[in-house]
């Protein structure tokens, strides 16, 4: 395991101005502490769901004030990387937690509540190890031909097949992943990635467009090929902006809608 620095860096970073001259640009101390905490998270010093040291302990470790540590943790909490629990401390965020397990699922029922709708029923159609195409390799920052896990599944919500998803994962990080494992895990898929493979998705980028399904997609979703659907392409990242999943989903929106809260 990589060692973690015990003191905050005290030297300014330098940037290059438009004239080519090097000029100092200082990073606020709390941002430096945030970076050190992120290093520990990435190195696995504290696992998802585990309690991290108190603000006082981290202040002593990094030789800074408790207020500086608190400001760093405030930002980490706002980014859903850690979770504060009143009277218990601060924990590494996990997709298994009830309050965040639907964080990346933006498809909501037109009537009722996503939490009350219950867990989607998953049907895994395939899960196999293949060589990455040039496009998949580019999006996952791999080399063309590198091993990836390719899976296809159907998610059924309230008894209706609603989402067809194609998923690609770096083969080196998900060795041994099987269709049975994906289908039998009772919690969120991202929680399974954390528990079984030590990979935590911390953010994602999505592209959304309206499409018509091909014949296979239409059959799986029990709609006609003239039914307008929503195409959602997602690249999910772990720490240090490392892409760990490419997911392409086709969504029915006759009983659900895509909801995104902006702030």
pLDDT at res. 6? 46
Taking CB atoms within 8 Å and a gap of at least 24, the contacts of 27-31 are: 29/64, 29/68, 30/68, 30/69, 30/71, 30/72, 30/75, 31/72, 31/75
C-alpha–C-alpha distance, residues 252 and 239, integer Å: 32
In CATH terms, 13-92 corresponds, of 1.10.10.10, 3.40.50.11440, 1.20.120.350, 3.90.226.10, to 1.10.10.10
Domain parsing of the chain, residue ranges: 13-92, 107-258
The CA distance from 206 to 68, in Å, is: 33
Q: Does the structure show a pLDDT above 80 at 23?
A: no
CA distance 192 to 197: 8
The tens digit of pLDDT for each residue in 132-163 reads 999 999 999 999 999 999 999 999 988 899 99
Report the pLDDT averaged over residues 225-234.
96
Supply the pLDDT for residue 103: 59
Which CATH fold would you assign to the domain 107-258? Chorismate lyase (3.40.1410)
* Distance between first and last Cα of the chain: 37
Check for a shared fold between 13-92 and 107-258. Answer: no
pLDDT at 101 > cutoff 60: no
* pLDDT confidence of residue 96: 66
| Residues pairing with 205 in the sheet | 235
Residue 56 and residue 51: Cα distance in Å, rounded?
Answer: 14
Q: Looking at 9-13, 167-171, 212-216, which range is the least confident one?
A: 9-13
pLDDT class of 117 with cuts at 50, 70, 90: low
Considering 91-95, 190-194, 249-253, the range whose residues carry the highest mean pLDDT is 249-253
Cα 115 from Cα 39, distance rounded (Å)? 33
pLDDT tens sequence across 165-204:
999 999 999 999 999 999 888 888 998 998 889 898 988 9
More confident residue, 186 or 226: 226
* pLDDT at 30 > cutoff 70: yes
Question: 3-class SS at 26?
Answer: coil
Give the pTM: 0.75
Are β-strands 229-238 and 242-251 bridged in parallel, bridged antiparallel, or unpaired?
A: antiparallel
What is the spatial distance between Cα 231 and Cα 171, in angstroms, rounded to a whole number?
Answer: 25
Which of 126, 125, 122, 146 has its CA nearest to residue 134? 146
């Amino acid at each position: 395991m990589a060692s973690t620095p015990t003191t905050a860096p005290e030297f300014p970073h330098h940037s290059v101005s438009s004239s080519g001259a090097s000029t100092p640009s200082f990073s606020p101390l709390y941002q430096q502490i945030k970076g050190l905490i992120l290093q520990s998270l990435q190195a696995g010093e504290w696992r998802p769901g585990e309690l991290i040291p108190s603000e006082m302990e981290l202040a002593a470790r990094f030789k800074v004030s408790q207020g500086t540590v608190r400001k760093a943790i405030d930002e980490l909490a706002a980014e859903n990387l850690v979770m504060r629990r009143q009277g218990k401390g601060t924990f590494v965020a996990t997709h298994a937690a009830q309050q965040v397990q639907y964080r990346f699922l933006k498809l909501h029922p037109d009537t009722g509540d996503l939490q009350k709708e219950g867990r989607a029923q998953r049907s895994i159609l395939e899960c196999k190890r293949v060589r990455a195409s040039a496009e998949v390799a580019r999006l996952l920052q791999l080399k063309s031909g590198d091993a990836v896990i390719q899976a296809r599944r159907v998610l059924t919500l309230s008894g209706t097949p609603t989402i067809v998803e194609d998923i690609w994962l770096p083969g080196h990080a998900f060795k041994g992943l099987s269709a049975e494992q994906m289908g039998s895990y009772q919690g969120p898929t991202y929680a399974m990635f954390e528990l079984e493979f030590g990979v935590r998705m911390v953010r994602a980028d999505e592209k959304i467009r309206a499409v018509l399904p091909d014949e296979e997609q239409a059959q799986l979703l029990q709609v006609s090929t003239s039914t307008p659907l929503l195409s959602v392409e997602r690249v999910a990242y772990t720490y240090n902006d490392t892409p760990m999943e490419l997911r392409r989903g086709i969504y029915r929106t006759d009983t659900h809608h895509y909801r995104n809260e902006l702030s």
